[in-house]
Structure 1
Amino acid sequence: MMNPESTLMFAEAAEAASVVTRQRAANAARLAELVETLRARPPRAVITCARGSSDHAATFAKYLIETRLGLLVSSAAPSVASVYGAEQRLADVLAIAISQSGKSPDLLATVDAAQKAGAQTLALVNVADSPLAGMVDHTLPLHAGPERSVAATKSYIATLAGLVDLVQALAGDDELGRALDAAPTLLRQAWDADWSPLVDTLADARGLFVVGRGLGLGVAQEAALKFKETCGLHAEAFSAAEVKHGPMALVGPGFPLLILRQSDETGEGVDDLAAEMAARGGPVLIAGGEAKGAIRLPTVAGHPVIEPMLQIQSFYRAVNALSVRRGFNPDQPPHLAKVTETL
């Protein structure tokens, strides 16, 4: 069995705190200019365009922007532009494209269509000289550095940090700005959190649900993807408000749940759900809270907007170890490549 600490995924995820520090310093002047532009021409709504892990960051963006800026955020379906070629009316809309590589044809087609439809365009992208970066009106580089493991880690956390930086600047939210200042220190603490109970509980699992709500839903989606791509473990992400409908029929002995909870208005409801699920007899792992019968995963407390970022950092270390425990190489998932160029 390989050493989990020898993988590229481990090494790259461990860099997240340094990436966030580097990003904030490098983007400060660019961000100030972008905020000035957006305040002069305020968008009436926002659309996001992304795939994979980047799309999970877009879910986070939706909750962050809608709760902090009061702007409607919708996810653009790339095939509307890349396959159907449909024209849209997007005057006074801000289109945010999120990508590690900035190369996927459907993403580029969506941004091109948005510009032709009158939208301002912004890219959060890691490869600064990518086609995406070259075509948008504004860029916020992720500054994550090369990411060679197929499983995105530091670039995902960099995207969350970039989104928080943008929103705190637009909102003039000093408290959120200070929380982001503290994030690198907290990310290092989160990396050291012992989530070995997750590895032990899921070593032989065949499937599970990952549950979050609000700002935590995007990291629940990201965790579910990582279970699939690095561990060969089928996982589905649900909002805590949705899992009690049809999906609840699967919950019971032998069916695990991972619940991610942040300390905001959603917390009480998530606690109640965790207790109810644990009472059904299946293994329930909870991060950010506790419930009778559930296995508590240690977390680092912070501003509620930052806590999902901290939880996914702890998760990355654990899922890397789980991948190795289950006999996989997390750096080389079967049938996957680092850059997926969909049409």
Structure 2
Amino acid sequence: MSEATAQPGARMTAEIAEQPHVFGELLAHRAEIAEVATRIAERRPRFALLAARGSSDHAALYAKYLIEVLLQLPVGLVSPSTTTLYGARPDLTDVLLLSVSQSGGSPDLLEVTEAGRKAGATTVAVTNTAESPLNRAAEMSVGIRAGQEQAVAATKTYSATLLALYLLVDAVRGGNAEHARALPELARTTLDTTEQAVAEAVHRYRFADRMVTTGRGYSLATACEAALKLAETSYLSARAYSGADLLHGPVAAVDAETAVLALCSAGKGGASTREVLEAVHERGADICAIGSAAADVPAAHRIGVPDCAEELAPVLEVLPVQRLALGLALERGGDPDNPRGLKKVTRTR
């Protein structure tokens, strides 16, 4: 499809639909990820650091939960400017540094990775571009195998990054991707069964001026990604909070004019979100619940997602989120394939 004849949102629509296939491809090559995992496990890192920007930062947040819960290792999120602007060079001996970048072209992350490797870290790049500068800078690399992404807003590269990170962490702990093997089919089911509910949500929230997104546990990453997608494609004023943080002050700003997008998948995170949503519901907010436990929370609108292992829920629950962002952008007269002022690679200096 040429640029001249392409309909608004055509690329984003196509790339959302590709995700079940992308998951299948990634799972078919999980042995390559397992090789990297074996080398990491042999080094027995004492803690992990995660470096990322944009949507990849939300994937890194997901990885933070995976590593802390499944590997029982402390994890920190790197502030790239401490390296690029302030020249900090901490000793990273016995530290695992994961640099997550869909393009592999972020100058910030490249500098962080190069500095980290010189400081003794085990450096691993997680990217969609095999020949990227980031892959060359890191000692090891994990490819997310999403294929070329033409839409500016990340969809398939984001979800593929989540799955790649899960496969890596699962393999480090000695797993064999047992819980992930059904994801391609579950993703197809999610896209097929949520289409009508997403369309109804687009109609319901097309005039919303501001939206709060929330989730707990693994789903916090999806809440953060949802806020970014809504802001960058629909130009909504969207803000993400963990459920716990939402109750510590920001809930005071929630009222009947506030739309709340809540990620509620089965498991400990989803169960703890119920209390949060009850408080938000009492303040009159219009709640849209997305996830495998959406039926269990107070909400004006629900988008159910197939059940899976809690640590994999973000891979599925982000699919209707992406479609919601796409639909709202089109309904509000925008083109999510060409959002204003948005670029793939983040540069901060």
**Alignment TM class, shorter chain as reference:** over 0.9
Determine the structure 1 residue equivalent to 2:137.
135
Higher mean C-alpha deviation, range 285-294 or range 2-11: 2-11
Higher mean C-alpha deviation, range 216-225 or range 261-270: 261-270
- Give the C-alpha shift of residue 196 in structure 1: 2.2
Cα shift readout 1:83-104 (whole Å, capped 9, x = no counterpart): 1111111100000000111111
Determine the structure 2 residue equivalent to 1:341.
347
CA contact (8 A) 2:9 2:337 kept: no
Higher mean C-alpha deviation, range 62-71 or range 305-314: 305-314
Determine the structure 2 residue equivalent to 1:179.
179
3-state SS in 1 of match to 2:123: strand
2:11 counterpart letter in structure 1: L
3-state SS in 1 of match to 2:246: coil
TM-score by length of 2: 0.93
The alpha-carbon distance between structure 1 residues 282 and 157, as it changes in their structure 2 partners (threshold 3 A), is same
1:326 counterpart letter in structure 2: R
For 1:3 and 1:207, the matched residues in 2 are separated by 30
Determine the structure 2 residue equivalent to 1:228.
231
For 2:303 and 2:7, the matched residues in 1 are separated by 19
CA contact (8 A) 2:124 2:142 kept: yes
2:148 counterpart letter in structure 1: P
CA contact (8 A) 1:98 1:123 kept: yes
Task: Give % identity.
Answer: 38
Query: Which of 81, 92, 95 pairs up with 1:93?
Result: 95
TM-score by length of 1: 0.95
| RMSD over equivalenced CA pairs, Å | 1.6
Determine the structure 2 residue equivalent to 1:255.
258
Determine the structure 1 residue equivalent to 2:51.
49
Q: Does 1:272 align with 2:278?
A: no
CA contact (8 A) 1:275 1:294 kept: no
1:191 counterpart letter in structure 2: L
Determine the structure 2 residue equivalent to 1:202.
205
For 1:7 and 1:340, the matched residues in 2 are separated by 24
Equivalent positions of 1:1-343 (< 5 A) are 7-28=10-31, 30-174=32-176, 177-192=177-192, 193=194, 194-288=197-291, 289=294, 290-343=296-349
For 1:293 and 1:11, the matched residues in 2 are separated by 30
Cα shift readout 1:115-152 (whole Å, capped 9, x = no counterpart): 11100000110011010011111111111111111100
For 1:261 and 1:149, the matched residues in 2 are separated by 28
For 1:222 and 1:292, the matched residues in 2 are separated by 22
CA contact (8 A) 1:274 1:286 kept: no
- Give the C-alpha shift of residue 179 in structure 1: 1.7
The alpha-carbon distance between structure 1 residues 148 and 229, as it changes in their structure 2 partners (threshold 3 A), is same
1:48 counterpart letter in structure 2: L
For 1:36 and 1:310, the matched residues in 2 are separated by 27
For 1:77 and 1:157, the matched residues in 2 are separated by 23
- Give the C-alpha shift of residue 321 in structure 1: 1.0
Structure 1 runs (4+) greater than 3 angstroms displaced: 2-6
For 1:98 and 1:39, the matched residues in 2 are separated by 19
Cα shift readout 1:6-25 (whole Å, capped 9, x = no counterpart): 51111111111111111222
Higher mean C-alpha deviation, range 292-301 or range 207-216: 292-301
Q: Which residues of structure 1 form unaligned runs of 5+?
A: none
Cα shift readout 1:206-242 (whole Å, capped 9, x = no counterpart): 1111001110011110000000000010101100010
- Give the C-alpha shift of residue 339 in structure 1: 2.5
1:258 counterpart letter in structure 2: L
- Give the C-alpha shift of residue 105 in structure 1: 0.9
The alpha-carbon distance between structure 1 residues 132 and 3, as it changes in their structure 2 partners (threshold 3 A), is closer
For 2:298 and 2:45, the matched residues in 1 are separated by 45
